[in-house]
Amino acid sequence: MSFDVEQVRKDFPIFEREVNGHPLVYLDSANTSQKPVQVLDVMRAHQERYNGNVSRSVHTLGTESTEAYEGARARIATFIGAASPDEVVFTKNSTEALNLVAHSAGQHLRIGPGDEIVISEMEHHSNIVPWQLLCERTGATLRWFGITDEGRLDESSLDSLITPRTKIVSLVHMSNVLGTINDFSRISARTREVGALLVLDCSQSVPHLPIDVRSLGADLIAFTGHKMLGPTGIGVLWGRFDLLAQLPPFLGGGSMIETVTMTGTTYAAPPARFEAGTPPITEAIGLGAAVDYLTGLGMEAIHRHEQEITAYALDALTSVPDVRIFGPASPAGRGGTVSFGVDGVHPHDVGQVLDALGVEVRVGHHCARPVCSRFGVPAMTRASFYLYTTTDEIDALARGLDQVRKVFG
Amino acid sequence: MMLDGLYQEIILDHYKNPHGRGLRDPFDGEAHHVNPTCGDEITVRVTSDLSEISYDGLGCSISQASASVLHELLQGKDTATASEIHQAFVDLMQSRGQAEPDEEVLGDGIAFAGVAKFPARVKCALLPWMAFKDAAVRAGVDVGMSPEVKA
């Protein structure tokens, strides 16, 4: 059966609204996705009928909540091909997951002066700053891959960048600015060879691509719920269980302990070890419902739809005068996130004119300022697509850009 | 289109033909401000008698036009007058579009009344004014209290 985007859109109540007198054209899913009624209903039903705290109550509500929470974990584990639900740690978001890794893996590996952490210029700030902080704490050195003119990771100095001094390599799977989908075959092999850990920021890939952690070649990955039809406040750290089992805790508190005495504490096994305090229960259950929704449509079908939309958008944007696309120019090896500039018009102004026409795009440095610097601009305009994006919406974007050029021409 | 309130001709004119743009010497105080959410930047230089106010920056039409208007309104004014105009502009931007601007005081600055209705853009308009205030302080000139940017 082919992918029926009009049918999909009926599941998203937000598409019934108008913005500034125009039908909503939502092209900001890389920022946060919209939510289908199936996710909203599950969260509401949980709060109305099943609410209790998890993992600590013998009563019926507590048991039902725990089952729903752990059920969500199990479905997310299946969704990403994890070996067991115990490899899925709930966090607040990707940022918290990456900070957890920087702290816990940093401590486990006894990172210190002379050690190196390798990232890239393509990272979101959430995969830069935690490593800068780790280096500040420990005296380790931060190094990074550059970006080629085509918007790909520059692997030309792979062997001198990743060396026996490297302890952790942490890279973005799909760029939130350029749309580039990175191929880690060489990097992963080199990381293994030197005995370092490979961490992947999958915030932009898990929502859009079929992901199997067994074939990714990573030791740990981070992603977030709100970019994949789920709510805000819930994210995931996946890790190989044998590795998670060796990592010390990040936050301390309830739920993450085995035994507490006044003189010391022993810790629970993963994933509980990394889930101190009452977790975002309703949000985790909502993310479980989002995963069910995505699985129902099929990630292969979603990815194909987005590839078609991306090809259409690249064509449409290329035909608008004065528009320059940053990142891979063809749909191969890239996802449905397209950043561009309009000559002589600041992205803020582009975004403002588009908003007046109901077209919602993101403008600014997209929490990835080094990417903007790499391409010599202070900011970019970004249109990003998802399973509910239509070619009509791309046409509305192109018309909006004509209007931008008229206002500032 | 509701954009007319935001992109007044006066603003687009200042954006396309900025007044007094470019950093000049000598100066007594300099400040560099950035808007961390969008990457807009501005550097403002002032002399202690406010006889010279120069600036350079990267940013949207609102922030760049605002810098041009600031230059036009404040350069060569005495501290008391500059403070009064500065305060009037900040008040206008924080009015959520409810204030009636006084053209006698604000000149072309009245064109920014529409910007105050767009909370996301108030910071853009205020960026040069905050940088000016810091530069003035460094030049030993106090142009009044620090406003809260609520956008």
Residues A94-138: pLDDT tens digits? 999 999 999 999 999 999 999 999 999 999 999 999 999 999 999
Q: Which of A348, A352, A379 sits opposite B3 (nearest CB)?
A: A352
- Cβ distance of B6 and A346 shorter than 8 Å: no
The span from the CA of A222 to the CA of A172, in Å, is 10
Contacts of residue B70, Cβ cutoff 8 Å, sequence gap at least 6: B53, B55, B89, B128, B129, B132
Contacts of A223 (CB under 8 A, 6+ apart): A94, A97, A201, A202, A203, A205, A206, A207, A235, A236, A238
Chain A residue numbers with beta carbons less than 8 Å from the beta carbon of B64 are 346
DSSP state letters, B42-68:
EEEEE-TTSS-EEEEEE--HHHHHHHH
Tokens of A82: 């994890």
Whether the CB-CB separation of A236 and A213 falls below 8 Å is answered with: no
Per-residue pLDDT tens digits for A265-322: 999 999 999 999 999 999 999 999 999 999 999 999 999 999 999 999 999 999 999 9
Residue A259: pLDDT over 60: yes
ipTM passes above 0.90: no
What is the Cα–Cα distance from A351 to A362, expressed in whole angstroms?
7
Quick check: A195 and A386 in contact, CB under 8 A? no
pLDDT at residue A1, as a whole number: 52
Longest dimension (CA), chain A: 71
Q: What are phi and psi of A197, to 5 degrees?
A: -90, 140
CA distance A170 to A109: 15
Higher pLDDT, B37 or A406: A406
For residue B39, the chain A residues in CB contact (below 8 A) are 364-365, 369, 372, 378-379
Cβ neighbours of B9 in A, within 8 Å? none
Quote the CA–CA distance of A138 and A199 in Å, as a whole number.
19
pLDDT of B119 reads 85
Pairing of the two strands A220-224 and A197-201: parallel
**Helical residues (DSSP H) of A139-270, grouped into ranges:** 158-161, 185-194, 213-216, 241-244
Torsion of CA A251, A84, A77, A103, to 10 degrees: 20
Q: Is the dihedral of CA B8, B12, B17, B22 positive or negative?
A: positive
Q: Which residue has the tokens 């990707």?
A: A94
Residues of A in contact with B115 (CB under 8 A): none
Angle at A365 between CA A290 and CA A168, to 5 degrees: 70
Quick one: closest CA in A to B59, which residue? A346
User: Distance from B80 to chain A by nearest Cα, in Å?
Assistant: 34
Residue in chain A lying closest to B2 (CA): A356
Q: How far is A235 from chain B (nearest CA, A)?
A: 23
Residue type, A10: K
Cα separation of B51 and B75, whole Å? 6
Residues in chain B with CB shorter than 8 Å from the CB of A345 are: 61
Characterise B148 by phi-psi region: left (phi > 0), alpha (psi -120 to 50), beta (else): beta
Task: Catalytic residue, from A135, A202, A367, A372: name it.
Answer: A367
Is A135 an annotated catalytic residue? no
Greater model confidence, A383 or B148: A383
Whole-angstrom Cα distance, residue A368 to residue A177? Answer: 7
At B2 the pLDDT is 63
pLDDT for B150 equals 40
- Cα gap A127→A121, rounded to integer Å: 10
Q: Once rounded to an integer, what is the mean pLDDT over residues A319-327?
A: 95
What is the average per-residue pLDDT within B9-29? 92
Looking at the predicted structure, is the pLDDT value of residue B146 above 80?
no
Torsion sign across C-alpha atoms A189, A194, A195, A197 = negative
The pLDDT of residue B151 is 38
Query: What was the pLDDT predicted at A58?
Result: 84
Confidence grade of residue A401 (pLDDT, cut at 50, 70, 90): very high
What digits encode the pLDDT tens for the residues A46-82? 999 999 999 877 899 999 999 999 999 999 999 999 9
Residue B43 confidence (pLDDT): 96
Answer whether residue B4 shows pLDDT above 80. no
Q: Do the chains contact at B38 and A408, CB–CB below 8 Å?
A: no
Say what the pTM is.
Answer: 0.92
Residue B96 has pLDDT above 70, yes or no: yes
Residue B36: band (very low, low, confident or very high) from pLDDT cuts 50, 70, 90: confident
**B16, B40, B121, B122: which to substitute to probe chain A, counting the most A Cβ within 10 Å?**
B40
Size of interface A-B (CB pairs under 8 A): 52
Average pLDDT over residues A29-50: 98
Contacts of A136 (CB under 8 A, 6+ apart): none
Query: Residues A182, A172: contact at Cβ < 8 Å?
Result: yes
Residue B106: HSE in the Cβ half-sphere, 13 Å Cα cutoff: 20
Contact between A387 and A302 under an 8 Å Cβ cutoff? The reply is yes
pLDDT of residue B9 exceeding 90: no
**Does residue B44 have a pLDDT over 70?**
yes
- Scanning every residue of chain B, which has its alpha carbon at the shortest distance from the alpha carbon of A373? B39
Tell me the pLDDT tens digit for each residue of A333-348: 999 999 999 998 999 9
pLDDT at res. B3: 73
Q: Does the pLDDT at position A2 exceed 80?
A: no
